[in-house]
A and B are shown apart, each in its own frame.
Chain A
Amino acid sequence: MRKKKLYFSILGVILTVFLILVGIGYYLGSRTQSRWKAVLVADNSTQAGTASKRVDRVVLERKIQKLAPKGVYIVIDSGKNILCLRKGTEILLRAIVSCGSGNILQEPGGKRTWVFDTPRGVFSITSEIKDPSWIKPDWAFIEEAKEIPTNPNDRIETGVLGDYALGFGDGYFIHGTLYTRLLGRNVTHGCIRVGDKDLKKLFVEVTIGTPIFIY
């Protein structure tokens, strides 16, 4: 009985301390909430008048607008596997694609590891190739548990990248595919696979230097 009482007392003390701390937190929190607007008002008191602020705003808006691409650009949503060719806010082409699988390949007995993600960020088209051949990198042989060839010609594989390929650096390409049923899924080793018709339209519209935004 005494033990029970002791336990309840300890529990009561802990709970009271906890609630007091929460109460103090609420008090301090309510004080900081009111500082949100106070900070801005203080900032403003040191600033110049409204007219000059408006001028600043227009100048900054123009500066930001100038950073945007002038012509067409590509936007790729690697999660939804959608590629859009845009000009300004207008969408010229919307294609279902395949992006990186996110899988990991470890070289057996070696030190090399590959993560098959489509890279994210801002890129630009660096090469345009008709009837491309795939020069298989080391990971392609390791994945198939085959020996890495010493003769460079043994790495060449034709007919797997479709009719066109658009390079955007570090060995990544926007290219065609034999596996059209997998468009819309994350299955690639980092490249972006596009269906034949969409790829042809893309190839016609873009040039070297066309910006690519991938997220």
Chain B
Amino acid sequence: MRTKWIFIIFLLLLSGGLSRSADTETQVSQSLQAEFSLAVSTDLYIVFDIPGQKIDLKAKGIILRTWKIEKIRLWGDPIPLNPASLLKKSALFPPQREDIKPGETDQETTFELETLELSDMPSSYTLRLEQNISMYIGPQSTGWTSFLRNIGYSLRWHFYPPLKTVWTKVKKQSFTVFEVTLENKEESQAFYWALGENSPFLILPF
């Protein structure tokens, strides 16, 4: 009798393991299929790997640059494993390009540079993607302003997504939002820099 029960439990455990394994295999092949289509058709693309806690900038299947995700929160509708293009980058203080005035002193000889550099990029910004996906990107807050910033981010996270959910349900649209914390200010700025117009994103949810 005991042997019979042990056998049944063993079979149950095995079937559970196999179904989990089938789940994983399906997810992996779906994500690979989506990545292959991107790698063939586009130049640079972003793989937003939630379980791996990282963002990869890739081209032709090669990883060009990786950003480590320190924290991530998500809200809203599930996303299909289809690439979504970046529609807009917005920041409170977006970088400004300088206009060259013809005939002015050569900057290179005076070493007074007025150019657009990595340090001019914002560290906290919002990305709007296709399929009504939003991403709040920012660094881990440090210093004396971190307390105030965290309150601001917390209020935004706890009020905006629920309200937007109500609005999108009324309009029968999908809505997904991510809050992504990167390692530090420099990493966050570098990610902003690396995002080109219409950069395709592949989001791997599980």
A32 with B165, Cβ < 8 A, contacts A68-B62, A143-B102, A215-B65 known: yes
CB of A213 within 8 A of chain B?
Answer: yes
How far is B100's CA from A63's CA once the two chains are assembled, in angstroms? 47
Inter-chain contact B108/A53, CB cutoff 8 Å? no
- Please encode chain B, from 43 to 67, with 1 for each CB lying within 8 Å of some chain A CB and 0 for all others: 1100000000000010111101100
Question: Is A53 within 8 A of B103, CB to CB?
Answer: no
Decide if B102 touches A79 in the complex (CB within 8 Å).
no
Asked whether A101 is an interface residue with its Cβ less than 8 Å from the other chain, the reply is yes
The answer to whether B161 touches A50 (Cβ under 8 A) is no
B91 to chain A, nearest CB (A): 16
The answer to whether the Cβ of B140 comes within 8 Å of any Cβ in the partner chain is no
B100 adjacent to A25 (CB under 8 Å): no
Q: Known contacts A32-B77, A103-B98, A143-B100; decide if A60 and B33 are in contact (CB<8 Å).
A: yes
Q: A57-B25, A185-B113 are in contact. Are A104 and B100 (CB under 8 A)?
A: yes
| Cross-interface CB contact of A121 among B43, B108, B118, cutoff 8 Å | B43
Q: Which of A103, A142, A143 has the most CB of B within 10 A?
A: A103
Bitwise interface map of A from 76 to 119 toward B, beta carbon under 8 Å scored 1, else 0: 01111000000000000000000001111110100000010000
The answer to whether A64 and B35 touch (CB under 8 A), given A69-B60, A102-B116, is yes
Smallest CB separation, B169 vs chain A (Å)? 6
**Contact call A179/B108, Cβ cutoff below 8 A:** yes
B193 contacts partner chain A, Cβ-Cβ < 8 Å: yes
A67 at the interface (CB under 8 A from B): yes
Return chain A residues, CB-CB under 8 Å to B43. Answer: 120-122
- Pairwise interchain contact B115-A101, C-beta atoms closer than 8 A: yes
Specify the chain A residue showing the minimal Cβ separation from B34.
Answer: A60
Interface membership of B97, Cβ < 8 A: yes
**CB contact under 8 A between A22 and B163, given known A32-B78, A104-B97:** yes
Interface string of B75-97 (1 = CB under 8 A from A): 11110100000000000000001
A148 to B22, CA, bound (A): 67
Contact at B118–A64, with CB atoms within 8 Å?
Answer: no
> Within the assembled complex, what's the spacing in Å between the Cα atoms of A215 and B107?
25
Q: How far is the CB of A130 from chain B (nearest CB, A)?
A: 25
- Whether the pair B61, A144 counts as a contact (CB closer than 8 A) is no
Contact present for B113 and A108 (CB under 8 Å): no
Report yes or no: A50 in contact with B36, Cβ–Cβ below 8 A: no
Between A and B, 16 residue pairs with Cβ closer than 8 Å are A22-B158, A28-B169, A33-B75, A35-B77, A36-B205, A53-B25, A53-B28, A67-B40, A101-B98, A103-B99, A144-B103, A179-B108, A187-B108, A211-B60, A213-B64, A215-B57
Closest 10 CB pairs of A and B: A25-B162, A145-B103, A102-B116, A53-B25, A101-B115, A121-B43, A60-B32, A79-B193, A64-B61, A79-B118
User: A-contacting residues of B (Cβ < 8 Å)?
Assistant: 18, 21-23, 25-30, 32-33, 35-36, 39-40, 43-44, 57, 59-62, 64-65, 75-78, 80, 97-100, 102-103, 107-108, 111, 113-118, 121, 158-159, 161-166, 169, 189-190, 193-194, 196, 205-206
